[in-house]
Every structure is written in C-alpha cells, then in structure tokens.
Chain A
C-alpha cells in the first residue's frame, strides 16, 4: 500500500478528524476497568487476572510503537491506520469468542496481544503526517490527536457500561458487548483510513508545497545516538510518572486527605474528582500543546516540570487544610501530564526534523511504559508501608510527593540540558549526499 498523496485542493483540516477517529477508538483501553467486575463474576477471575488484558495491551502498545515506528514511516499513515483497525477490532472479536467459549486466555490474547499491537501502531500512525500538514502549528495538530486518546475513555466508559447493562453481565452478554465494540470501532476507524492523506510534498501546507523540508533531519536510528533523545526520554518519563502518581490513587487520595476534617469527601464526590482530573488531562493535551507553538517547546516543559514541582509542594504542605487548593493543584498537575504527552512529538520535530519523527516518537514512548510501572509502584508501595506503620490521612502520601518533586526536578534539569542536535547526526540533503557519495567513490 503506497502512502495516499493529497489531490489538489485537499484540505489539511481533514487530517485531524482522520487522526481523531483512530485515537478516540484506541483510547478505549483506559476504560477496560468497566469489563473487570462482570468478567470476574462470569469467569471466576481475581482482580489481578482480570487486569491482564489491559496490562498486556499497554506493554504491546509500547513495544509495537517502538519497533513498528520505522515501518509506519515507510508504509505511510493509511497502512498504519489499516493495521491499527484490523488489530484493534479483531482483538475485540477474538475476545468475544473467548467470552462465549469461557476461554479467558483468548481474551488475554485477543484484547491484550492483538489489540495491543493496534494500540501502538494506531497511536503513532497520524503523528508524522499531522506534523507535515501543520508545519506552522505542530503542537496544536498533535495535541488534537493525542487529546483523542484521552477522550476515547470518556466515550467508552459510559457506552460500555450501558451495553453491559443491556446485554447482561454473564459470559454471553460480555461476548455480545465485545462483538459490538469490535464492529463499531472498525466502522468508526474506517474514516481515518479513508481520509488520511500525506501532503503532496513533505513540507506540506501554508504555501510551501513545492519546497523541500528545511531544518535538521535525523533518522530514527541516528536519533538514539544523540543525548537529546535520552534527555527527552527522561523529561517524558519524569513528567508522566508525576502525573500517574496522582491519577493512580486519585479517589482514595482525596478521601484520605480530608478524612479527619469537618468536610470529609464521600465516595461519590471522589468519583467526581476523578472525572474532573480526566477533563484536566484532556484539556491540557490540546491547550498546553497549542500554547507550545507560541512560547516554544523548552519553555512549556519548564512550566510542566517547574510549576508541576511547585504544585506538588503546595499539596504536600497545605493540601489537607484547603480542599479548593488540593483540587486546583491536582488539576494543574494532570493538565501538565496530558500536555507533556501531546507536546513531545512537536519537540521531537524541532530537534530531529520531520524525516522519521513518527518512528522516533514511537521509540520515545518506552518512557511512558517505564513511567506506567514506576508511578503506581512508588505511590502504592509507599502508601502501603506508611499504613503498616500506623499512619493515616495526608501523611500516607508525604514521602511519595517528596519523591515526585525530586523526579520533576530531575526532568527540569534534563530539559535545561537539551541543545540543538549536532549536525554530524543530520541526514545529508540530496545534493550534499550526492557530493559525499562522489567524493567517496573518487577516494575509493
């Protein structure tokens, strides 16, 4: 399948909805928890077992984004979106078969392994194309798509819950729900496959259609040899870890913080707090990422990491004395968490050019996988130990917050160390490459 080139008059505003149709679908992964209780009662599973498909899916997301990135660059966005559609949809169909036969391993294989490949390839599929279409606003363009990943769970969570309520929570009802999910997402993602186009010339829009890409161009393999890649890896990992630190335990955290006060937080109110955090996460993806087009990528990460550390300090020092302050700081941290995800493709574009930015982004997502393990581990492990030591309320989280502040400072320093990539890593321009080749053949 050759990359679909835009015909004359094709609007670049058709590309964000194409990207959104994929990201809104694969974002369903974060709503997996809806299926957990019915699966546990229908198939007699433990909580750990019912989390397996999601965990394997996230691992496969990281692996397929890291190892499939170069292939996505070579084959183009339509190929990548088709693979994502087939994998994500057939993952659900296999799970439907598994649920109807009461074979749980088929659900793990289908949703986790096959569907997980769809998550990774789908996540990186539109990034490079969007950056090429919007060279003037790469932050906004990738922010729209990556906001979709956050939005996917917002749609899937109530939708899946309603479906399970209608079909029933037994194995037949779950199988039917999986089947409807698989077919619906296939139709929904088809829009992306049909609409996505690469610009006629890589530089794309804004009157530069006949110009070659300018600025540094670095290949994915070469990017791994630069300190800039690893500094950004640290920046992303630290920022995500800090966000997950709150997200992971948001509901019990707000309840613990105000348990001993005159205004304790109910379970229902805590659920509202989690929903509000999701909104901040989503708003941060589009809002902060678009702002980075105006104030620059390095400055916006100074904000995420520096002000993020300040917000954690405020929660740690005064969080239990003021509910509005606690909520406000948590919302800001979560908006920075989302912003960090959405801004990183544009940061990569600034440093490494558009040449293989999708593949480089895919490899950088291993920082996400690492943070996904690190963040919950720190908060849960420390909270458990503090509880064992007889502590309660806000003091359960003091040490975790101190660690988060430290991690954000590490990320801040890493961001300060980012410099433009040394020209020796750049891919030679066509003329230059021919000259180098000629010189090499003459000297041979």
Chain B
C-alpha cells in the first residue's frame, strides 16, 4: 500500500517526523492507559 500522496515513500526526514508525531500523542495515551489498567485491576482485587 502506498503511504503518501505522491506515490513515493516518505523521505528519511519525514520518517523522523512521523515517529515524533506518534510519540507526541502516544506517550500521554500510554500514561492514560497505564492509569486505566491500574484502576481496572481493582475490579478483581478490590
């Protein structure tokens, strides 16, 4: 599957940008999920 609008793969610079952009949203989301799992385990331990 092509991944961009110009039918050519993203340049190495853009790969860094993609990684950075996903980390920007991924890190806070991972924190939220961690807190969620911590709370959800209370159903079985609480």
Interface residues of A (CB under 8 A from B): 6, 8-14, 17-18, 20-21, 24, 133, 136, 148, 151, 154-155, 157-159, 188, 191, 195, 199-201, 204-207, 209, 266-273, 275-276, 278-279, 327
B residues adjacent to A (C-beta < 8 A):
1-11, 14, 17-18, 21-22, 24-25, 28-29, 31-33, 35-37, 39-46
On chain B, the residues within 8 Å of A276 by CB distance are: 40, 43
B2 touches A206 (CB 8 A): yes
Whether A204 pairs with B31 at a CB distance below 8 angstroms is: no
Known: A13-B18, A272-B39. A8 touches B3 (CB 8 A): no
* Chain B hits for A157, CB < 8 A: 32, 35
**C-alpha gap A12/B25 in the complex (Å):** 16
Collect the chain B residues with CB atoms within 8 Å of residue A279's CB. Answer: 33, 36-37, 40
Residues of B within 8 A of A270 (CB): 43
Among A17, A191, A205, the residue within 8 A (CB) of B3 is A205
How far apart sit A207 and B40, CA to CA, in the bound complex (Å)? 44
**What separation, in Å, do the CA atoms of A158 and B36 have in the docked complex?**
9
Pairwise interchain contact B3-A151, C-beta atoms closer than 8 A: no
Q: Of B7, B25, B39, which one neighbours A20 at CB under 8 angstroms?
A: B25
Q: Is the CB of A191 within 8 A of B18?
A: no
Q: Is the CB of B1 within 8 A of A206?
A: yes
Q: Which residues of B contact A9 (CB under 8 A)?
A: 4, 6, 8-11, 14
Which A residues are CB-close (under 8 A) to B40? 272, 275-276, 279
Min CB–CB distance A178 → chain B (angstroms): 19
Partner of B21, one of A133, A191, A207: A191
29 A–B contact pairs at CB < 8 A? Answer: A6-B5, A9-B6, A9-B8, A9-B9, A10-B4, A10-B10, A11-B3, A11-B4, A11-B18, A12-B4, A13-B22, A14-B17, A17-B25, A20-B25, A148-B25, A154-B35, A154-B36, A158-B31, A204-B5, A207-B2, A207-B7, A209-B5, A266-B46, A272-B45, A273-B43, A276-B40, A276-B43, A279-B36, A327-B43
Q: With A136-B1, A205-B3, A279-B40 in contact, is A272–B46 under 8 Å at CB? A: yes
B6 adjacent to A8 (CB under 8 Å): yes
Known contacts: A272-B40, A275-B40. The answer to whether A191 contacts B24 by CB under 8 A is yes
Q: Give the distance in Å from the alpha carbon of A268 to the alpha carbon of B10 in the complex.
A: 48
Closest 9 CB pairs of A and B: A272-B43, A268-B46, A154-B32, A272-B42, A155-B32, A269-B46, A17-B21, A275-B39, A8-B6
- CB distance B10 to A11 under 8 Å? yes
- The A interface is mostly helix, strand or loop, or mixed, namely helix
Judging by beta carbons under 8 Å apart, are B29 and A269 in contact? no
Contacts of A206 in B (CB 8 A): 1-2
- A251, B39: Cα distance in complex, Å: 13
Instruction: Give the docked Cα–Cα distance between A27 and B35 (Å).
Output: 16
* Of the residues A24, A268, A271, A278, contact of B25 by C-beta under 8 Å: A24
B4 surroundings in chain A (CB, below 8 A): 6, 9-12, 205
CB distance from B10 to the nearest CB of A (A): 4
- Provide the bound-state CA to CA distance between A155 and B28, in Å: 6
A70 to B7 Cα, complex, angstroms: 30
* Set of chain B residues within 8 Å of A18, measured between Cβ atoms: 21
Instruction: Name 17 extra pairs, CB < 8 A, besides A12-B4, A204-B5.
Output: A6-B4, A6-B5, A9-B4, A9-B10, A10-B4, A10-B14, A14-B17, A21-B25, A148-B25, A151-B33, A154-B36, A188-B24, A207-B2, A269-B43, A271-B39, A272-B40, A276-B40
